[in-house]
C-alpha cells in the first residue's frame, strides 16, 4: 500500500462503526442527487458497508446522471440506479418508497444569474421530496453557509447559533431546511439537518485549491483566514450513520473537522511538501465562516483522517498527476455571492 492511489483507496473503506450502524438500520437506502461530488462515493461506501455487514439491503442512487459512464459504474458496483430529474414531479413520484433517504440534491456553483433555479432546487424541490418521503427518515444535506461569519476566537457557530445567511445561495439553503422542518412537524417525519463544511477529497476541496495555488505560485487570499475541513469519506460515514439519529422535531448537526485551521498554516504546510514558498495577499480578518463540530464528534468520534494526512495524500496526488474536478468551493467568499 505504498502508492498514493492505494492509500486513497484504503481511506475510502468503511469503518467498523459504520458497518455496525448500517446493520442496525431498518430498510433500504435511497440517495437523491447521487451524481454530484459526494454522491457516487457515498453510494459505494454504503454498499461496501452493507456487504461487509453481511446483510440484505439495497442502495438506490437517483440522479440525472449527466456524467457519462457513472450510472453504469454504479450498477456494476451493485447499486440500483434511477435516472430522473427530481424537479419533474412525475419522475419524482415514480421513484420507489424507501425507509431511509439521503437527500443531496441542490445547487451552489454559478448561483449568481440563476437565482430562480437556485431557489427552485434548494427550496421548492425539498417540499415535493418531503411530501413523497413523509413516511421515511431523511438526512438532509445542508451547509454551514447558513451561519453568519463568527469571531475566530469563539470557536465556530454551534447548532444553537441563529442562522444569518449571506446571499441568495445561503438563503435558499435555509429555505430547504425550513421546508423539511415544516414537513417533520406536519407528518412526524424523522429528519436530521446535516450542515456540512468543507468536505475534501483528492479530486476537490479547500485543501486541494490551496495546494494547487501553492504549487503554481498563485497568490492565496487570506481574508477568509480560517477554515474547517473534513475528509469526504468521514463526511459520508457520518451521513449514513446519521440515519439512526433522525428525529421529530428535526435534529441539526454540524459536520466538519473539529479543528479550526489557519489558511496561512495550510499553505505553509503545502509549501514544505512542495519545497516552494507560498504567496499571500491581503490579511486575516477576525471573523470567518466556521462551525463547531463538538456534537458530531460526540456522536461519531474523531474523524479517522486528520488534516495532515489529507494534506500529505493531496501533495502525493498532485505530484503524481492525479485527476481532479473543476468545482471550486469559493471558501474565500465573504459576501455570499456564488
Matching residue, cell 442527487:
33
Give SS3 for 280.
Answer: strand
Q: Is 169 exposed, middle or buried (0-12, 13-18, 19+ CB in 10 A)?
A: buried
Instruction: Tell me if the bond preceding 198 is cis, omega within 30° of 0.
Output: yes
d(CA 91, CA 235): 29
- Main-chain phi, psi angles of 100, to 5 degrees: -125, 120
Those residues of the chain that have pLDDT short of 70 are 1-2, 109-111, 338
**β pairing state of 226-227 and 279-281:** unpaired
Q: For the whole model, what pTM was predicted? A: 0.96
Pairing of strands 287-288, 150-151: antiparallel
| Cα separation, 295 vs 297, whole angstroms | 5
User: Which pLDDT score, from 0 to 100, does residue 77 have?
Assistant: 96
pLDDT for res 1: 40
Q: Answer yes or no: are the C-beta atoms of 187 and 179 closer than 8 Å.
A: no
Q: Is 184 helix (H, G, I), strand (E, B) or coil?
A: helix
Domain definitions of the chain by residue range: 12-201+230-258+291-302
The architecture in CATH of the region 12-201+230-258+291-302 reads 3-Layer(aba) Sandwich (3.40)
Residue 75, C-alpha cell as written in the block: 450498477
- DSSP secondary structure letter of residue 122: I
Q: Note the residue count of the chain.
A: 338
Give the integer Cα–Cα distance in Å for 173 and 61. Answer: 22
**Structural contact between residues 143 and 176, judged by C-beta atoms closer than 8 angstroms:** no
DSSP 53-104: HT----EEEEE---STTHHHHHHHTT-EEEE--TTSHHHHHTSPP-SEEEE-
Amino acid at each position: 500500500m505504498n502508492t498514493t492511489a492505494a492509500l486513497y483507496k484504503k481511506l475510502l473503506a468503511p469503518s467498523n462503526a459504520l458497518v455496525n450502524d448500517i446493520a442496525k438500520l431498518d430498510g433500504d437506502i435511497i440517495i437523491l442527487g447521487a451524481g454530484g461530488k459526494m454522491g457516487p462515493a457515498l453510494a459505494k461506501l454504503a454498499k461496501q458497508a452493507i456487504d461487509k455487514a453481511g446483510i440484505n439491503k439495497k442502495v438506490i442512487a437517483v440522479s440525472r446522471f449527466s456524467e457519462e459512464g457513472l450510472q453504469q459504474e454504479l450498477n456494476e458496483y451493485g447499486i440500483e440506479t434511477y435516472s430522473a430529474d427530481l424537479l419533474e414531479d412525475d419522475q419524482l413520484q415514480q421513484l420507489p418508497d424507501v425507509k431511509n433517504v439521503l437527500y443531496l440534491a441542490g445547487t451552489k456553483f454559478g448561483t449568481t444569474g440563476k437565482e430562480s433555479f437556485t431557489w427552485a432546487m434548494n427550496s421548492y424541490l425539498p417540499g415535493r421530496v418531503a411530501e413523497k418521503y413523509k413516511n421515511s427518515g431523511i438526512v438532509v444535506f445542508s451547509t454551514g453557509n447558513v451561519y453568519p461569519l463568527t469571531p475566530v476566537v469563539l470557536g465556530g457557530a454551534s447548532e444553537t447559533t441563529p442562522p444569518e445567511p449571506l446571499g441568495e445561495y445561503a438563503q435558499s439553503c435555509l429555505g430547504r431546511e425550513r421546508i423539511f422542518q415544516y414537513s417533520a412537524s406536519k407528518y412526524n417525519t424523522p429528519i436530521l439537518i446535516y450542515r456540512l463544511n468543507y468536505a475534501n477529497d483528492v479530486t476537490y476541496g479547500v485543501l486541494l485549491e490551496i495546494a494547487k495555488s501553492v504549487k503554481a505560485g498563485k497568490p492565496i487570499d487570506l481574508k477568509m483566514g480560517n477554515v474547517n475541513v473534513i475528509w469526504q469519506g468521514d463526511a459520508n460515514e457520518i451521513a449514513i450513520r446519521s440515519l439512526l439519529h433522525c428525529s421529530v422535531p428535526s435534529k441539526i448537526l454540524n459536520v466538519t473537522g473539529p479543528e479550526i485551521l489557519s489558511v496561512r498554516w495550510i499553505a505553509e504546510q503545502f509549501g514544505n511538501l512542495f519545497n516552494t514558498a507560498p504567496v499571500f495577499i491581503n490579511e486575516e480578518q477576525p471573523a470567518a465562516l466556521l462551525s463547531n463540530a463538538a456534537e458530531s464528534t460526540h456522536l461519531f468520534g474523531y474523524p479517522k483522517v486528520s488534516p495532515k494526512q489529507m494534506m500529505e495524500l493531496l501533495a502525493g496526488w498532485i505530484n503524481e498527476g492525479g485527476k481532479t474536478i473543476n468545482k471550486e468551493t469559493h471558501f474565500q467568499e465573504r459576501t455570499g455571492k456564488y
